[in-house]
Structure 1
Amino acid sequence: MGDTEFQPRSVFKNLGVLLDSGLTFTKQVDDLCRKCYCHLKNISSIRHVLTQDSASALARSLILSRLDYCNSLFTGLPQNQLNRFQRIQNITARMVTRSPYHCHITPVLQALHWLPVSARIDFKVLCLTYQCVSGEAPDYLFNLIQQYIPKRHLRSYNFNQLVVPKGKLASFGQRAFAVAAAEKWNSLPVELRFVTTLPIFKSRLKTHLFKIHNRN
């Protein structure tokens, strides 16, 4: 611009999220894991003087809140990246409950009423989708989704479904909000798609996701 030269950067930060040129989020995952482990170490050092409720509150405030921040961006990340987040949550859950390392983690997460990482990502995407469907979302999100209207009058028209766009790239297309939101929304039970308020939707969605992951 004019006489000013702009140098391209491979990574930059926006709203606290490290974005790389390939949208792999590798730097963001590394940075997030580093911060979470730091807080985990600090809480662990004083765990012996904390009640379980106090330890849980600290874990939710300092660790889970970071895993949840902008986590809709992590939709479709490689499993090995998501496993790093899940490992942090598992260690945190064992620290809070003082459960031995060798014990199965699912009952521990259930006791704390914590959804696993992948379900927390689905929860965030679906809550944003609900706001789009109900007209509560900002235009930049609302304009990404499209209500499914069949060419002929079909019973499916009453199912409150969304159009699933075709991803342009195999790697990134399926991770796009428009694609992920529509696929996840259409997979919900019909009655959940017709809930009238966001608080009720969140409550029932969380119950639904718990049932799915507990079954698995």
Structure 2
Amino acid sequence: MIVARTPRTPRSSIVTNLGVKMDAHLTFEAHIKQLCKNSFYHLRNIAKLRPTLTLSDAEKLVHAFVSSRLDYCNALLIGIPNKSIQKLQYIQNSAARILMRVRKYDHITPILKALHWLPVQLRIEFKVSVLTHQCVHGTAPPYLKELLTTHTSLRTTRSSNSYLLKPPRTKLRTMGDRAFCSAAPSLWNALPDHMRAPQSVEAFKKGLKTHLFKRAFA
């Protein structure tokens, strides 16, 4: 009997799912590297066109080719190392400088504030918090809802009606604390009571952006 041996497919250290490059330790380093490469390619082209564009038109280009990439699946990036966040922040800072036509070493905070842009870290927190709101108030898919547990107490306290979530115990801060079931309660419970109350997604997004904007630029 002849046995045909199928050659083994070599294992890859990185896989791509829905355009996101993932490694075994979920560092997303390959994804961030590719994101930086693509974003700066478009920023160089926008910079060439910037003298002929109005601020409004230039901002539309930045949102279409750069900001959309920074925001795509960015909830996955919660808890990544600060050095990785800084690489993404550098993309946003460069985009802001091109839009406002300021020098490379001008202070970036007033520029981001003028554009009403949340820094990258807070954009990630924004996405996770919106997903959490949808889980708590019934509009998220079941596979996300089942990851969260509502905090319950035998005593009637002011917090009993504040829609708090119970964070799970995690063993690994670099991995476990980054999971949605852990990161979501942490961010959600830190919000003011009125923001955790039932409201439309649109109203929550508006209030959340104002809240995070004050955190960033107060």
> TM-score interval w.r.t. the shorter chain?
over 0.9
Q: CA deviation at 1:106?
A: 1.1
TM-align CA RMSD: 1.4
Q: 1:38 aligns with which of 38, 41, 64?
A: 41
Structure 1 residue ranges without an equivalent (≥5):
none
1:165 aligns with 2:165: no
Q: CA deviation at 1:157?
A: 1.0
* 1:186 alignment partner in structure 2: 189
The answer (yes or no) to whether the contact 2:134–2:201 under 8 Å persists in 1 is yes
Q: 2:24 aligns with which of 7, 21, 31?
A: 21
Q: CA deviation at 1:104?
A: 1.4
> TM-score scaled to structure 1, two decimals?
0.95
- How many equivalent pairs are there? 214
Q: CA deviation at 1:141?
A: 0.8
> TM-score scaled to structure 2, two decimals?
0.94
Q: 2:206 aligns with which of 188, 203, 208?
A: 203
2-structure distance, mates of 1:59, 1:195: 34
1-structure distance, mates of 2:209, 2:83: 24
Q: 2:105 aligns with which of 102, 105, 109?
A: 102
Amino acid at match of 1:67: L
Amino acid at match of 1:63: V
Structure 2 residue ranges without an equivalent (≥5):
none
Q: 1:177 aligns with which of 180, 198, 202?
A: 180
**Greater CA radius of gyration, 1 or 2?**
2
2-structure distance, mates of 1:155, 1:202: 25
Q: What does residue range 53-202 of structure 1 map to in structure 2 within 5 Å? A: 53-202=56-205
Amino-acid identity (%): 44
Q: Relative contact order: is structure 1 or structure 2 higher (C-alpha 8 Å, sep ≥ 6)?
A: 2
The answer (yes or no) to whether the contact 2:137–2:198 under 8 Å persists in 1 is no
The Cα offsets for residues 41-76 of structure 1, whole Å up to 9 and x where unpaired, read as 111111111111111110011001000000011100
